[in-house]
Structure 1
Amino acid sequence: MNTIRTVLGDVPPRELGVCNAHDHLFLSSPQLPGQELREASAARAELAAFRTQGGGTVVQWTPYGMGRRAADLPLLARDSGVHVVAATGLHQAAHYGAELLRRLRGGLAELFVSELTQGIGTSGVRAGLIKVAGGFHSLDAHARWTMAAAAEAHHATGAPIAVHLELGTGALDVLDLLCGELGVAPQSVILGHLNRSPDLAVHRQAAEAGARLAFDGPSRANHATDWRMPDAVRALAEAGFGDRLLLGGDTTTAAARSVDGGPGMPYLLRRVRPRLELALGKELVEHILTENPQSAFAADWR
């Protein structure tokens, strides 16, 4: 039976409620100095604010080695009443030291499988998805290595694979590798950040291939996220791909948290949802926030 693997255990998909399909409660990277998401109290406040807006589930895409704080997630989920899904996986090489990457050579797939089936470190918290990343309009050797490991772990466990697309690019290259060469079923692949490159033709091709399409994160100054995203989502829905769409918040810095004056997790439901309802109607937006994540993050775990 397909279930969602949360930090409190496997649950039936129908229990998710309204789902933020891509966000971060904890995150640390040398690429974001001074903006780490480390405080449990701030994470608790974000979950509470999301819950107040009607949220039911947050999928944390923070992968291995980036400050996931897996041991803290069960208590936060219990306290907030929000389901939390944790990730294994590996981000771009720039987020890690060379020595750590050397240690992972030869055993990356085994690490992913262990975190999906046994637990992250000594926390006992099992990951519910694998997160990897491409580059800007390209897949370098690091991306190919991590995606090959993700595919191996997917075949061993059934876990979905979520992909950070750098500035929204490279979606078709990712699908060629994961689904074409490595045999991953396209419905098990979630392409993130498509809003950052509003190329409707690429979106359509990715949807036709069978992948899940995530539009996640409010605009930065150089992104077309907010004002082009409704058009992109509507185009996909009108083409018959409304069941492939996901929405997320992608809070990656302390300054972006609502408790620190940023949009944070509530923004998805407070501002993005009503904006999309104007373009798509309430019924479809509700479907995207509830039913689509139920199928995207469910697996017949092995």
Structure 2
Amino acid sequence: MNAVRTVLGDIRPEELGVCDAHDHLFVSSPRLPGQELNDARAARAELEAFGSAGGAAVVQWTPYGMGRRAADLPALSRATGVHVVCATGLHQAAHYAAELLTEVRGGLAEVFVSELTEGIGTSGVRAGLVKVAGGFHVLDTHARWTMTAAAEAHRATGAPIAVHLEMGTGALDVLDLLCGELGVPPQRVILGHLNRSPDLTVHRQAAGAGCWLAFDGPSRAHHATDWRMPDAVHALAEAGFGHRVLLGGDTVVAAARSVDGGPGMPYLLRRVRPRLEATLGKEAVDRILTDNPARAFAADWHREAGPA
């Protein structure tokens, strides 16, 4: 069945609703000491605020080993009425202790497939996508390893693959690897952080290849490209690629949550949405927030259990 795999089970794509296509309720990393998202009450308040602003779904891109708290997600989704999609996958090596990487070195694809089909740990929560990452303008050995495992997991399950592009760079290298060498259909690949490198030529090339382009991260105080994002999205729409665009908030530190004084998840609908509507029109933005994520995160889940 073609479905979006949420933490409460599979749903029809049209049930997803208005979607924050890239965000985090929980995340921790040694690169962000003391800034972890690890408070369940704050996560619930943030989801409630997003729902009150008109949001219906949040895709959490937090991968394996980074404090996903998968067992807490079903209760949060039930309590708030907001769909939540959880990720498996692996981020850049800098986000992990060496011992953790050693643990999964011999069977990373099997970890991904197990979390997509059987569940994450003992939680029973099944992931709905695989998240991996590139480097700044390069794909190092770690990135190639994780993307190869992601491609294997995709072939075993049908799961979409979401890619963190460091500072928005390396999009075409990622597509060369995933869709060229590894044979993943481009419509199963989501490229994140395109707003951080507003290269309109690369955007059109990536969209023309058939992948999804995520513009996310208005919560990031150290990225000064928000003002360029509407022009970049408008340029894609004018070129006929509005149907390949996704929008997200990418809240990764506690201070960025709306409940802690930051813009948080509601900002996507409170400020980004009307700003884009002024540029693209309401109908186009509605499609970007509903129809596009429904297609990007839906999969034909053709394997339900067992390792790759």
* TM-score class normalised by the smaller sequence: over 0.9
Q: Could you tell me whether the CA contact under 8 Å between 2:236 and 2:242 is conserved in 1?
A: yes
Structure 1 gaps of 5+ residues are none
Tell whether 2:281 aligns with 1:254: no
* Greater shift in the superposed pair: 54-63 or 97-106: 97-106
Report deviation, 1:229. 0.3
Q: Residues of 2 paired with 1:7 and 1:59: CA distance?
A: 10
Corresponding residue number in structure 2 for 1:97: 97
Q: Could you tell me whether the CA contact under 8 Å between 2:61 and 2:87 is conserved in 1?
A: yes
Q: Could you tell me whether the CA contact under 8 Å between 1:219 and 1:225 is conserved in 2?
A: no
Matches within 5 A, 1:16-165: 16-165=16-165
Report deviation, 1:222. 4.7
Aligned residue pairs: how many? 302
Q: Residues of 2 paired with 1:109 and 1:95: CA distance?
A: 19
Q: Could you tell me whether the CA contact under 8 Å between 1:198 and 1:224 is conserved in 2?
A: no
Q: Residues of 1 paired with 2:296 and 2:220: CA distance?
A: 27
Residue identity in the other structure for 2:104? L
Q: Could you tell me whether the CA contact under 8 Å between 1:191 and 1:212 is conserved in 2?
A: yes
Report deviation, 1:223. 2.7
Indicate the RMSD between aligned Cα atoms, in angstroms. 0.8
Q: Residues of 2 paired with 1:156 and 1:143: CA distance?
A: 20
Tell whether 2:279 aligns with 1:279: yes
Q: Residues of 2 paired with 1:20 and 1:40: CA distance?
A: 19
Corresponding residue number in structure 2 for 1:231: 231
Residue identity in the other structure for 1:109? A
Q: Residues of 1 paired with 2:77 and 2:252: CA distance?
A: 19
Q: Could you tell me whether the CA contact under 8 Å between 1:13 and 1:294 is conserved in 2?
A: yes
Q: Residues of 1 paired with 2:21 and 2:222: CA distance?
A: 23
Q: Residues of 2 paired with 1:219 and 1:105: CA distance?
A: 33
Q: Residues of 2 paired with 1:223 and 1:204: CA distance?
A: 22
Q: Residues of 1 paired with 2:255 and 2:242: CA distance?
A: 33
Q: Residues of 2 paired with 1:55 and 1:23: CA distance?
A: 13
Identity of aligned residues (%): 82
Tell whether 2:194 aligns with 1:187: no
Q: Residues of 2 paired with 1:222 and 1:69: CA distance?
A: 27
SS of 1:240's equivalent in the other structure is: coil
Report deviation, 1:225. 2.9
Residue identity in the other structure for 1:142? H
Structure 1 residues 114 and 220: CA distance shift in structure 2, 3 A? closer
Structure 1 residues 73 and 222: CA distance shift in structure 2, 3 A? closer
**Structure 1 length-normalised TM:** 0.99
Report deviation, 1:102. 1.1
Residue identity in the other structure for 2:201? A
Q: Could you tell me whether the CA contact under 8 Å between 1:24 and 1:251 is conserved in 2?
A: yes
Corresponding residue number in structure 1 for 2:263: 263
Give a deviation string over 1:137-192, Cα, whole Å, max 9, x none: 00000000000000000000000000000000000000000000000000000000
Q: Could you tell me whether the CA contact under 8 Å between 2:219 and 2:249 is conserved in 1?
A: no
Residue identity in the other structure for 1:58? V
SS of 1:84's equivalent in the other structure is: strand
Residue identity in the other structure for 1:95? H
Residue identity in the other structure for 2:125? V
Corresponding residue number in structure 2 for 1:174: 174
Residue identity in the other structure for 2:182? L
Q: Residues of 2 paired with 1:194 and 1:91: CA distance?
A: 17
**Structure 2 length-normalised TM:** 0.97
Q: Residues of 2 paired with 1:222 and 1:205: CA distance?
A: 27
Q: Could you tell me whether the CA contact under 8 Å between 2:25 and 2:37 is conserved in 1?
A: yes
Report deviation, 1:99. 1.1
Corresponding residue number in structure 2 for 1:14: 14
SS of 1:55's equivalent in the other structure is: coil
Structure 2 gaps of 5+ residues are 303-308
Structure 1 residues 200 and 224: CA distance shift in structure 2, 3 A? farther
SS of 2:67's equivalent in the other structure is: coil
Q: Could you tell me whether the CA contact under 8 Å between 1:197 and 1:224 is conserved in 2?
A: no
Q: Residues of 2 paired with 1:105 and 1:219: CA distance?
A: 33
Report deviation, 1:217. 1.1
SS of 2:22's equivalent in the other structure is: strand
* Greater shift in the superposed pair: 220-229 or 156-165: 220-229
Residue identity in the other structure for 2:152? E
Give a deviation string over 1:76-100, Cα, whole Å, max 9, x none: 0000000000000000000001111
